[in-house]
Amino acid sequence: MSNNLSLDGCDLVNLALKYGTPLYVFSKGMIESRCREIKEQFLKRYEGSRAYYASKAFLTLAMCQIIEKEGLGLDVVSGGELHLALKAFFPAERIILHGNNKLRQEIETAVEKGVSRIVVDWEGEIDIIDAVSKTKGKRTPILLRVTPEIKALTHKYIQTGHRGSKFGIPLERIPFTVKKTMSLPNVELKGFHFHLGSQIDDYRTYLDAVDVVTKLMSDLRDRFGYIAEELDIGGGFGIGDGENARTKPISYFTDPAMERIKARCSTFDLPVPSVAIEPGRWITSEAGITLYTVGAIKEIPGSCTYVSVDGGMADNIRPALYGARYRAEVANKMGRDKDKIVTIAGRCCESGDILIENLPVPGDIESGDILAVFDTGAYNYSMASNYNMLPKPAVVFVDEGEDILVVERETYDDLLVKQRGIGSALRV
């Protein structure tokens, strides 16, 4: 009987041998389970509610197919994400378009294809949407992204709701923006949106933002007679670190938020708006494992032992970008005593390319071992680069003992497809 690490009935060491490393592996069943929890604990419990998967966390054709099948909507933030979704035949009427600086071409595509909502991030964007909608003979539904001036307890690089954030319209400008929007014939203001950041562990952060935005809604009703039909409270629901904390159920965040929205609307004598959420990492992060092959091992007396792998910041920039922490196991040596402490180093030519510090591993770790890094299903594939001309890894889905390749590994030639020489001056 093998002592190798497995996921959904698939031996991860065998997958590494079959597809090569680095390799992103995803549990299809876990993704589906998270989607179904959202349906059961949120969509079915609250009338008119909606859930959009935040596709920036992880987006492929196969992922779009899962989200479509599970009945969720899709949150996209660029023309590229929108293009991929449409290529996957994802229904445009279940897509919501975000972005703090949308290109006119992106807005044109969104309006033409009939996306569900465009979330307006700055005042001038409304004029563009109105003009584009006029040329296409449409009236486009929009939400205004409000900056509620709430500072979430998370890394400053992933805070998005505080004053000074690059995202959203400042609170004091919302009344002017609403008044302007109400006068335009080709946009339809459905309500408001806010987003507070990523990896938020405390539901009370959302309650603070709800208080701000519902007071705003009341003021706008009194001032302009405007009644908001919709409120999108964003995403950013955190996951546990797997050792000291477990991931909280979606209801931990949504139930208190819904209770507060209802209570505040009652206080202000407002109709309760339909509410939307935008989970991303919460759906995919724990479904993903990245496999690496161990290479160089350097023991530095009085310092540390570096265990280098065949990937690094090119396939997982998050530790270098904002100190993200990960767990890992030597997949082919499960069950052995972990009597050695090492630092997992990437292969990129940067001193900051360190994936994990102070990782306990078996004392006989050696070149050729397979390292499995957990919880890499969000923002790893999405943020992967070709730094140092490294090809991006393949992506494999596993489900009940079966594996399927959903993204092919890049080749060196793939990296040169768009390059051009300079004629006779180039000698190869």
Which pLDDT does position 68 carry in this prediction? 98
Q: What is the pLDDT of residue 425?
A: 58
CB 81 within 8 A of CB 115: no
Cβ neighbours of residue 222 closer than 8 Å, sequence gap 6 or more: none
Domains and CATH numbers, the chain: 6-23+288-416 (2.40.37.10), 27-284 (3.20.20.10)
Asked if residues 393 and 406 have their Cβ atoms less than 8 Å apart, the reply is: no
pLDDT at 172: 87
Which tokens is 281 given? 């990492």
| Nearest alpha-carbon partner for 382 in 132, 53, 118 | 53
Q: What is the pLDDT of residue 226?
A: 96
Q: What is the pTM of this model?
A: 0.93
* The one catalytic residue among 10, 35, 304, 349: 349
| pLDDT for residue 2 | 76
Consecutive H or E run containing 119: strand 117-120
Q: What is the pLDDT of residue 77?
A: 97
Contact 171, 146 (CB under 8 A): yes
Q: What spatial distance separates the first Cα and last Cα of the chain, rounded to whole Å?
A: 52
Mean per-residue pLDDT pooled into runs of 10, the chain (428 residues): 90 98 98 98 97 98 98 98 98 97 97 97 96 97 90 52 74 93 96 86 89 95 96 90 78 96 97 97 97 97 95 96 93 96 97 96 97 97 98 98 98 96 67
Longest Cα pair distance anywhere in the chain, in angstroms? Answer: 76
Tell me if residue 304 is catalytic: no
Phi, psi of 181 (to 5 degrees): -60, -40
Q: How much of the chain is in helix, strand and coil states, percent to nearest 5?
A: 35, 25, 40
Can you give the pLDDT at residue 427? 59
Give the torsion sign (CA, 294, 60, 194, 146).
positive
Spatial distance between the Cα atoms of 428 and 424, rounded to a whole number of angstroms: 10
Q: Supply the pLDDT for residue 151.
A: 62
